[in-house]
Chain A
Amino acid sequence: MYVLPSTLTDRSVLQDWLGRNVLLLLFITLCVALGVAYFNFFTANNWILILQSSVIVGVMTIGLAFVMIGGGFDLSFAATMLFCGAVAARFMIGDEPSTLAALIVAPLAGAVIGLANGAVIVFSGISPLLGTIANSLIIRALGVLFVMETWMEIPGDASAFLFIGQGALGGVPFSVYLFVAIAVIAHIVLTKSNYGRRLFSCGANPRAARVAGVPVPATQVISYGICGLCAGIAGVINVSSVGGLSAVFNVSYLYDVITAVVIGGVSFFGGIGSIGTVVLGILILGVLKNAMIIMNLPHYTQNAVGGVFLIVAIGIDSYLQKLRGR
């Protein structure tokens, strides 16, 4: 996304390298600026906070990246996250809590929901934007009706389950390890697997992909399934870290993930994206939010700033695309 092809402009090697690594530079600049301004920015505590708060958004961002690389779009992941979190909570509450069931069924439910969602969108051909919004309403409503209660509390003795969101290994929260693992797996799948190649081809040029023998609809539906799976995992982590589930739909997740995926360089048109830059995007977003907390900005201002940031990020991206003549 931030690569300005040097064949199109007469640029020096330095400028070319700069163009390719804008994200990294942005990240470093941000950190330095904040570190200078706020002395407690570079403390271990603060960074644990940053990482921990980025995990849930981060996992879903990776999921959304898959869908977008394949040429689609998905807005239902926040609802799926809520739903699967509730499913996990269900297994933990009651007479026979089962951590194993919770950890297996919840993400699985997410995958199934994702596949169904994807099937509806891909096979009907309707706009993914609006279609997934509609699906998200349905998912959330079904969740509230059948699975959720206003507040579901995980019993305090479910230590295995709670460890996921609240535990730490060597000072680093366990959820961060989980995120890293997911990121690594995602990277391998995208860059080195058969499926990953196909996915990129579907996003880059669906017609050519079809002609080349790639099963385009199936590939795309699977990407939605992956997104749902990630949302399910995020839901489990969320419930585990909070210690329970509140049925209030936190719409800020939607905005955050979209912002992260845009900053992370995944193109809306498909065919472009990499886990490396996505992770950077997630971290940048995390740092920004952290900055707002440090600056003691109230909640709603954070949202507003998030919106501004989204506009700026995609404004720059769109403008660059225009310059490149897309």
Chain B
Amino acid sequence: MHEMSIAGSMLEAVRAESARHNAHVLALGVKIGDLSGVDSESLRFCFDALVQDTDLAPLALQIEHLPWRNRCRQCAQDFAVQEYRTECPQCGSADTAMASGQELEFAYMEIAET
């Protein structure tokens, strides 16, 4: 359960951005990969708990999920990994490597007009 500390890091970024623009942040957009090790529901719960009854409220958390994708080292095919099947669907090679899915990134903030 490290989602609470991750939510805390997110709110630090929101405060910094809010101060920089001297405006209220209405929404935070983040990208979370399926292999990031972060559970979205748990993150949302922690995020809302930390925001509630503070000057940061109202603040929405908008999560974009990024699926686990591999790229084939033989034929360069990029494909979504489903049911842990990491072999290339195009050429059948088992020699594939992760292309995306580990992301835990900020994407954007929506800031109120001043």
User: Do A and B originate from a single complex?
Assistant: no
Interface residues of A (CB under 8 A from B): none
Interface residues of B (CB under 8 A from A): none
